[in-house]
Every structure is written in C-alpha cells, then in structure tokens.
C-alpha cells in the first residue's frame, strides 16, 4: 500500500511539472523539451555593429525593430541615445571600415 502511494505521488509531481512546461511553452511560443519547434516571430533586436574603445568601454549599434539606437557600455553601466542622428551614420561607416581593415 505504501509503494502505491509513493508511485502515485511521483506521478502527480511529474504531471504537475509537465503541465507547467506546457503552460510556459504556450506563453512563450516555444516548448523547451521538444527541439523541433521554434517560435515563428522574427527577431526584433540585433546588434548591427560594435566598436571597442578601451577594454572597458565600447559602442554598440543596436537595431530594435525598424529603429537603430546607439548603446555605450562602460564600467558604471550603459548609456543609450535613442535619437541617433548624424553620429549613428558616421559610427556605422567607421565600424564597416574597421571590419574591412581587420579582414
């Protein structure tokens, strides 16, 4: 009798775990345990370029949807410029040039 109760308890725990994984998969659009299924949403954030100024300071161009923002990282944290402007175009050109020189 005691063995049957232990098995029933184990099945209940695994059942609750399976329900939790299923619910999280529905919320995020992805099931973790099934490798073939992926989210159909396109990636909305990507790094367009990175320029290292010092070992602890760097500039990043990040595309968020259809906008490009400038992100500066430093030891105290990060700062970003959502307005962009002419500086973004010049930084993008500098990053492209730097990549060309490295290869």
**pLDDT per residue as tens digits for the range 1-10:** 788 899 999 9
Whether residue 49 sits in one domain with residue 10 = no
pLDDT at 44: 79
pLDDT at 63: 81
Whether residue 96 sits in one domain with residue 49 = yes
Whether residue 15 sits in one domain with residue 32 = yes
Whether residue 64 sits in one domain with residue 95 = yes
Whether residue 35 sits in one domain with residue 75 = no
Whether residue 87 sits in one domain with residue 53 = yes
Question: How many domains does the chain fold into?
Answer: 2
Alpha helices in the chain (DSSP H): 2-28, 86-102
Residues of the domain holding 92: 45-102
Over residues 37-57, the mean pLDDT reads 74
Q: What is the pTM for the complete model shown?
A: 0.42
* Residue 66 token pair: 């259809």
Element (H, E) at 68: strand 67-74
């Amino acid at each position: 009798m005691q063995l049957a109760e232990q098995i029933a308890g184990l099945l209940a725990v695994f059942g609750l775990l399976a329900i939790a994984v299923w619910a999280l998969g529905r919320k995020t659009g992805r099931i973790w345990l099934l490798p073939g299924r992926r989210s159909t949403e396109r990636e909305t954030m990507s790094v367009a370029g990175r320029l290292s100024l010092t070992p602890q300071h760097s500039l990043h161009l990040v595309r968020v949807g259809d906008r490009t923002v400038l992100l500066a990282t430093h030891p105290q944290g990060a700062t970003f410029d959502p307005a962009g402007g002419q500086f973004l175009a010049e930084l993008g050109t500098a990053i492209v040039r730097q990549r060309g020189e490295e290869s």
